[in-house]
Amino acid sequence: MYLSAVLHTCGNTAEHFYRYWDLESKAKKIKLLEVLGCNQPSNYAPRSADPIITRVLADALNNDVPSKTIKMVLTNYHCAYGGRNLTEYQTIKNFITEQKYAEFCDIERLQRIYIVKSKGGAVFRSAPSVSSERLDAIAEGAFVEVEDSVGEWAKIKYAGVYGYVFKPLLSAY
Protein backbone atom coordinates (compact mmCIF):
# COMPACT_ATOMS: atom_id res chain seq x y z
CA MET A 1 0.00 0.00 0.00
CA TYR A 2 2.68 2.56 0.91
CA LEU A 3 4.97 1.45 -1.92
CA SER A 4 3.05 3.70 -4.30
CA ALA A 5 3.93 6.74 -2.17
CA VAL A 6 7.58 5.79 -2.32
CA LEU A 7 7.45 5.45 -6.11
CA HIS A 8 6.94 9.17 -6.48
CA THR A 9 9.69 10.21 -4.11
CA CYS A 10 12.24 7.62 -5.16
CA GLY A 11 13.53 6.96 -1.64
CA ASN A 12 15.18 10.18 -0.65
CA THR A 13 14.63 10.13 3.10
CA ALA A 14 15.30 7.80 6.01
CA GLU A 15 11.55 7.33 6.50
CA HIS A 16 11.37 5.44 3.21
CA PHE A 17 14.08 3.07 4.33
CA TYR A 18 12.43 2.58 7.75
CA ARG A 19 9.46 1.03 5.93
CA TYR A 20 11.70 -1.90 5.08
CA TRP A 21 11.38 -3.19 8.65
CA ASP A 22 7.57 -3.28 8.41
CA LEU A 23 7.61 -5.67 5.46
CA GLU A 24 7.39 -9.36 6.27
CA SER A 25 8.06 -11.00 2.93
CA LYS A 26 11.36 -11.04 1.08
CA ALA A 27 9.54 -10.19 -2.17
CA LYS A 28 8.09 -6.99 -0.69
CA LYS A 29 11.48 -6.00 0.73
CA ILE A 30 13.07 -6.51 -2.68
CA LYS A 31 10.36 -4.44 -4.36
CA LEU A 32 10.88 -1.60 -1.87
CA LEU A 33 14.66 -1.64 -2.42
CA GLU A 34 14.13 -1.59 -6.19
CA VAL A 35 11.98 1.49 -5.81
CA LEU A 36 14.48 3.12 -3.45
CA GLY A 37 17.30 2.33 -5.86
CA CYS A 38 15.73 4.13 -8.80
CA ASN A 39 18.21 5.82 -11.07
CA GLN A 40 17.22 9.45 -10.81
CA PRO A 41 20.04 11.99 -10.59
CA SER A 42 20.76 13.85 -7.36
CA ASN A 43 18.68 11.49 -5.28
CA TYR A 44 21.13 11.31 -2.40
CA ALA A 45 19.50 11.26 0.98
CA PRO A 46 20.72 13.55 3.74
CA ARG A 47 23.67 12.05 5.60
CA SER A 48 21.41 11.61 8.61
CA ALA A 49 19.70 8.80 6.64
CA ASP A 50 22.93 6.87 6.09
CA PRO A 51 22.83 4.76 9.29
CA ILE A 52 19.34 3.44 8.46
CA ILE A 53 20.34 2.84 4.82
CA THR A 54 23.38 0.90 6.08
CA ARG A 55 21.28 -1.26 8.41
CA VAL A 56 18.70 -1.98 5.70
CA LEU A 57 21.33 -2.94 3.14
CA ALA A 58 23.22 -5.12 5.63
CA ASP A 59 19.98 -6.95 6.46
CA ALA A 60 19.16 -7.30 2.76
CA LEU A 61 22.60 -8.78 2.08
CA ASN A 62 22.24 -11.20 4.98
CA ASN A 63 18.85 -12.29 3.61
CA ASP A 64 20.03 -12.96 0.07
CA VAL A 65 18.38 -10.01 -1.66
CA PRO A 66 19.71 -10.05 -5.26
CA SER A 67 23.03 -8.22 -5.60
CA LYS A 68 21.63 -6.26 -8.58
CA THR A 69 19.10 -4.63 -6.24
CA ILE A 70 21.75 -3.86 -3.60
CA LYS A 71 24.01 -2.34 -6.27
CA MET A 72 21.17 -0.09 -7.48
CA VAL A 73 20.71 1.33 -3.98
CA LEU A 74 24.45 1.71 -3.37
CA THR A 75 24.96 3.47 -6.69
CA ASN A 76 21.99 5.75 -6.13
CA TYR A 77 23.08 6.78 -2.65
CA HIS A 78 26.83 7.06 -3.37
CA CYS A 79 27.61 4.72 -0.46
CA ALA A 80 26.37 4.96 3.05
CA TYR A 81 28.74 7.60 4.42
CA GLY A 82 27.34 7.88 7.92
CA GLY A 83 27.08 4.14 8.33
CA ARG A 84 30.83 3.63 8.48
CA ASN A 85 30.82 3.62 12.27
CA LEU A 86 28.26 0.81 12.42
CA THR A 87 29.13 -2.85 12.63
CA GLU A 88 26.64 -3.45 9.80
CA TYR A 89 28.87 -1.46 7.49
CA GLN A 90 31.37 -4.32 7.43
CA THR A 91 28.72 -6.47 5.70
CA ILE A 92 28.40 -3.86 2.97
CA LYS A 93 32.15 -3.45 2.67
CA ASN A 94 32.54 -7.22 2.28
CA PHE A 95 29.92 -7.14 -0.48
CA ILE A 96 31.52 -4.28 -2.35
CA THR A 97 35.16 -5.37 -1.85
CA GLU A 98 37.99 -2.89 -2.19
CA GLN A 99 38.33 -3.40 -5.96
CA LYS A 100 34.70 -2.48 -6.61
CA TYR A 101 34.54 0.33 -4.06
CA ALA A 102 35.03 3.17 -6.56
CA GLU A 103 32.19 1.77 -8.67
CA PHE A 104 29.68 2.69 -5.96
CA CYS A 105 31.31 5.53 -4.09
CA ASP A 106 32.39 9.03 -4.97
CA ILE A 107 35.87 8.60 -3.47
CA GLU A 108 36.84 12.26 -3.89
CA ARG A 109 33.73 13.36 -2.01
CA LEU A 110 34.27 10.72 0.63
CA GLN A 111 37.73 12.14 1.33
CA ARG A 112 36.14 15.54 2.03
CA ILE A 113 33.76 14.19 4.69
CA TYR A 114 34.69 15.16 8.24
CA ILE A 115 32.97 14.71 11.59
CA VAL A 116 32.69 17.37 14.31
CA LYS A 117 34.72 15.88 17.16
CA SER A 118 34.52 18.68 19.72
CA LYS A 119 32.31 17.84 22.71
CA GLY A 120 30.80 21.29 22.54
CA GLY A 121 30.25 21.11 18.79
CA ALA A 122 31.62 23.71 16.41
CA VAL A 123 30.72 27.30 15.66
CA PHE A 124 29.83 27.89 12.00
CA ARG A 125 31.09 31.34 11.00
CA SER A 126 30.71 33.66 8.01
CA ALA A 127 34.48 34.14 7.58
CA PRO A 128 37.65 32.35 8.75
CA SER A 129 38.02 34.32 11.97
CA VAL A 130 36.79 33.99 15.58
CA SER A 131 35.57 37.58 15.34
CA SER A 132 33.38 36.91 12.26
CA GLU A 133 29.62 36.55 12.42
CA ARG A 134 28.35 33.35 14.05
CA LEU A 135 25.97 31.72 11.58
CA ASP A 136 25.07 28.59 13.50
CA ALA A 137 26.34 25.85 15.80
CA ILE A 138 27.09 22.37 14.51
CA ALA A 139 26.61 19.53 16.99
CA GLU A 140 29.28 17.03 17.98
CA GLY A 141 29.12 13.99 15.71
CA ALA A 142 27.65 15.89 12.75
CA PHE A 143 29.09 15.17 9.33
CA VAL A 144 30.32 18.05 7.20
CA GLU A 145 31.81 18.21 3.74
CA VAL A 146 34.93 20.37 3.53
CA GLU A 147 35.03 22.41 0.33
CA ASP A 148 38.33 24.22 0.90
CA SER A 149 40.83 25.23 3.58
CA VAL A 150 41.94 28.70 4.64
CA GLY A 151 44.76 28.34 7.15
CA GLU A 152 43.30 26.73 10.27
CA TRP A 153 39.75 27.05 8.93
CA ALA A 154 37.66 24.68 6.82
CA LYS A 155 35.20 26.12 4.34
CA ILE A 156 32.03 24.02 4.39
CA LYS A 157 28.45 24.15 3.19
CA TYR A 158 26.04 23.68 6.06
CA ALA A 159 22.25 24.03 5.86
CA GLY A 160 22.64 25.41 2.34
CA VAL A 161 25.04 28.17 3.42
CA TYR A 162 28.80 28.42 2.93
CA GLY A 163 30.83 29.28 6.00
CA TYR A 164 33.83 28.30 8.08
CA VAL A 165 34.63 25.97 10.98
CA PHE A 166 37.88 25.85 12.96
CA LYS A 167 39.69 22.75 11.54
CA PRO A 168 40.99 21.35 14.86
CA LEU A 169 37.34 20.74 15.81
CA LEU A 170 36.97 18.33 12.86
CA SER A 171 38.24 14.83 12.30
CA ALA A 172 38.61 13.08 8.93
CA TYR A 173 35.91 10.45 8.60
Same domain, 90 and 155: no
119 shares a domain with 90: no
Domain with 167 in it: 113-172
| Count of the separate structural domains present in the chain | 2
Same domain, 51 and 67: yes
Cβ neighbours for 76, distance < 8 A, ≥ 6 positions apart: 11, 36, 37, 38, 39, 40, 43, 44
Strands (E), the chain: 113-116, 122-125, 134-138, 143-150, 153-158, 161-166, 170-172
Residues 67 and 43 in one domain: yes
What pLDDT does 17 receive? 78
Whether residue 139 sits in one domain with residue 101: no
pTM: 0.49
Dihedral sign, Cα of residue 85, residue 86, residue 87, residue 89: negative
CA dist 85 → 55, 82, 126 (Å): 11, 7, 30
Residue 64 CA to residue 123 CA, distance in Å, equals 44
* pLDDT for res 8: 36
Q: Both 34 and 76 in a single domain?
A: yes
Over the chain (173 residues), the average pLDDT of each successive run of 10 is 38 68 89 73 55 82 86 69 66 67 63 83 95 92 87 89 94 77
Q: Does 146 share its domain with 104?
A: no
**What is the predicted pLDDT for the residue at 2?**
37
Q: Which of 171, 116, 119, 142 is nearest to 50 (CA)?
A: 142
Taking the C-alpha atoms of residue 61 and residue 113, their distance in angstroms, rounded to an integer, is 26
